[in-house]
Structure 1
Amino acid sequence: MGRVVLTWSLEPRNSAPDRLSIVWREEGGPRVMPPARRGFGSRLIQGGLAHQLDGDVTLDFAPEGLVCTIDFDLPDTAEVGQPMLPLGTAA
């Protein structure tokens, strides 16, 4: 049986917004094969999520398991005056 390992790290930067990196890594499941074509889900994750966050999203179809990396700059909440999104809401 496989599992998903979710990790994140925050890179504080003085002259630019802090950068958040989230990594979704699948382990111990069946071997992964890169898809023959990009389907709706891949396009939504790579294009839509990257656009929504104004960041970068990569999908690595490694044989040991899918690795999805999401990197984006965090908005300055002092400028916004509120959290990014209230809990339970969507952009």
Structure 2
Amino acid sequence: MGNVRQQFWIPRLMRQVKVAFRRCISYQRFNNLPFHYPDGENLLSRKVVQTRPFNQIGVDMFEPLHLKGNQDVPETTAKAYGLIIY
């Protein structure tokens, strides 16, 4: 980039270089790697209890949601209830 700037004045050269790099297939292949999660800490054995799947479940019900109509029928309203099982 320094050599180019010695001979030519190109407005927003840095931005154009970044755009060119992002479009380059070889650059993407080596720099768009998946995120590497850091290693987690070991859990204490007294805090972790091994159980069978679905040994403990929970239910969460939430209040009614007031739904309005869309642009075609704006005057219609309805109530919807929710139930989450985990």
Q: Give the structure-2-normalised TM-score.
A: 0.20
- Between Structure 1 and Structure 2, which shows a larger proportion of helix residues? 2
Which structure's relative contact order is higher, taking Cα pairs within 8 Å and 6+ residues apart?
A: 1
